[in-house]
Amino acid sequence: MKTRVIEFLEENKGKSVSGSEIAAKLNISRAAVWKIINNLKSEGYIIEAVTNRGYCLKEKSDIISETSIKMNLKTKSLGNELQVFKTVTSTNTLAKDLTQNGAKEGLVVISEEQTDGKGRRGRSFFSPSKTGIYMSIVLRPQIDINDTLFITVAASVAVAEAIETLTGASVGIKWVNDLFINEKKVCGILTEGAIEFESRKLEYAILGIGINFSTKNEEFPNEIQEIAGSIVQLENSKCTRSQLIGEVLNNFEEYYNNLTDKGYMDFYKNHSNIIGNNVIIVGDETKEVYKAIDIDDQARLIIKDKEKKVLIWCIVLGLIVVFMYITDIKCIIKATIGVPCPTCGMTRAWISVLHLDFAQAFKWHPIFPIAIVVVYLIIDNGNPKKWFKMLLMFTVILLLAVYIYRIITLGLSTPPLDINKNSLLFRAIGLFR
């Protein structure tokens, strides 16, 4: 009977309804209505009782219930069975346990709070009470394991579309499973499952969706306050969590039933917030910077290896050094007859760099060694490990280019600068002479 009272109040949200009207509609006594209303208030529903006017469920009342969610559902199977909780450790964990005990596809587990919310790579997902949406959907898709990524992609689009429809906010999607508004993360999606290795099919999948709905910035832990946000502030929006849950499930069912048609991919690409930007690929012990250039039809991120770009620059600069090394003879001749040569300083700076004598290079042309560092940092975005590695590559290529030229000409048996011929570097280079 409580469910029917909730449904009646939800249908008349923001309006006053008399106790006698509710009693007559549901065929119960006014005393029973009064008792149910008090029970709902204790659960957190904001219900105003006004003498001679009745009961009014306030617009800002936003309690997640099976009744309020189903009022917004248009699905055929997703959400037919809803399990709504005040608090759980993790909706994904609970849904997984239910699935292993025979839960049917379409079951949705929802909680007002998670005490141990799960994120990717073993991270936790901050899940405070009454300001977020934490739900997990049980799926039993008949797809190859190579297509499992599309579940997460379709869910990302379903959530993004729902948020934009109900709030008007512009949503960006960070490959593969995070949603952002105003450069702050508002939603994370985690898909887990079990695989039948013989058939290469999924036995089941648990689609977990966590949305920061109305959490205020100061309520987030200090370590994530700069990167976390919420989609609405409750007092400024008429959208409720139950409405958003219903819209997400409606959208996702449409995409899920046509998963391999990939009708969601255009939206996914167009709302990507990383295409054209740099990304950091994190390994077990390494972090590499690449540029994201596209997302292919298999929802895979296409990245560009910046080392190839820098290698091209190294080759070009190496050819320039060869040319400058050749012209150094002309510079010496001009200097002996008193004709100044504007390239001498630069040329000598180049040769100094080739012999790793950066102090001498700075003396001959102060801007030159600084320019090398600045140009490389611009090209490589300042990744220290790659910077050092590629600077060494740059130096080696220049050394090889110059001394290959020396081998060919056989005419330059001594370097144009007076360097320490007993140095380990010079003796090593002498092998090429």
User: Over the stretch 75-126, which tens digit does the pLDDT of each residue have?
Assistant: 999 999 999 999 999 999 999 999 999 999 999 999 999 999 988 777 889 9
What residues of the chain score a pLDDT lower than 50? 234-235, 329, 332-340, 342-343, 366-367, 382, 410-433
Answer yes or no: pTM beyond 0.75: no
Class for domain 2-57, per CATH? mainly alpha
pLDDT of residue 187: 96
pLDDT of residue 388: 61
User: Which amino acid, one-letter code, is at 294?
Assistant: D
Q: 66-273 adopts what CATH topology?
A: BirA Bifunctional Protein; domain 2 (3.30.930)
pLDDT of residue 40: 87
User: Over the stretch 171-193, which tens digit does the pLDDT of each residue have?
Assistant: 999 998 999 999 999 999 999 99
pLDDT of residue 385: 55
The domain ranges of the chain are: 2-57, 66-273, 306-432
pLDDT of residue 144: 85
